[in-house]
Amino acid sequence: MTKTRILRISRIAVPALVGLLLVAYLAISYFVASSVTSAERNDQTDHPTDYGLEYEDVEFVSRKGDVTLDGWYLPGVEDGASVIFVHGINSTRSGDEATQIAVHLVESGFNVLLFDLRAHGSSGGDRVTGGINEAQDVLGAYDYLVARGATPDRIGVLGMSMGAGTSVLAVADEPAIRGLVVDSPYARVSQLVAFEIGRKTPIPGWIAPVFVPGASVIADMIFDIDLGKLVPEEAVESIGFAILVIHGDADTRIPTDHGKRVDEAAYPGSEMWVVPGVDHLDAFKTFPEDYVNRVVPYFKARLAGK
pLDDT of 217 strictly over 80? no
What is the β-pairing status of strands 56-61 and 68-74? antiparallel
Span 263-281, mean pLDDT?
Answer: 97
Rounded Cα distance between 118 and 62, Å, is 9
Q: Count CB neighbours of 10 within 10 A.
A: 11
Three-state secondary structure string covering 17-46: HHHHHHHHHHHHHHHHHHHHCCCCCCCCCC
Residues 13-69: pLDDT tens digits?
556 555 666 666 767 777 766 666 777 889 999 999 999 999 999 999 999 999 999
* H/E segment holding residue 279: none
Look at residue 18 in the predicted model and tell me its pLDDT. Answer: 58
Rounded Cα distance between 60 and 70, Å, is 7
Higher pLDDT, 110 or 11: 110
Higher pLDDT, 211 or 249: 249
pLDDT of 202 strictly over 70? no
Question: Where is average pLDDT lowest: 50-64, 149-163, 198-212, 218-232?
Answer: 198-212
Q: Is residue 236 a contact partner of residue 161, using CB atoms and an 8 Å limit?
A: no
For the chain, what is the mean pLDDT?
Answer: 88
Q: What angle do CA 226, 236, 232 make, to 5 degrees?
A: 35
- Per-residue pLDDT band at 163 (split at 50, 70, 90): very high
* H/E segment holding residue 284: helix 283-286
- Per-residue pLDDT band at 7 (split at 50, 70, 90): low
Residue 266 DSSP class: S
Q: Count Cα atoms within 13 angstroms, Cβ side, for 83.
A: 33
Span 236-263, mean pLDDT?
Answer: 96
Catalogue all structural domains in the chain, each as residue range(s) with its CATH number.
1-36+190-228 (no CATH), 41-188+230-302 (3.40.50.1820)
Q: What angle do CA 248, 254, 259 make, to 5 degrees?
A: 60
DSSP lists the bridge partners of residue 111 as 82
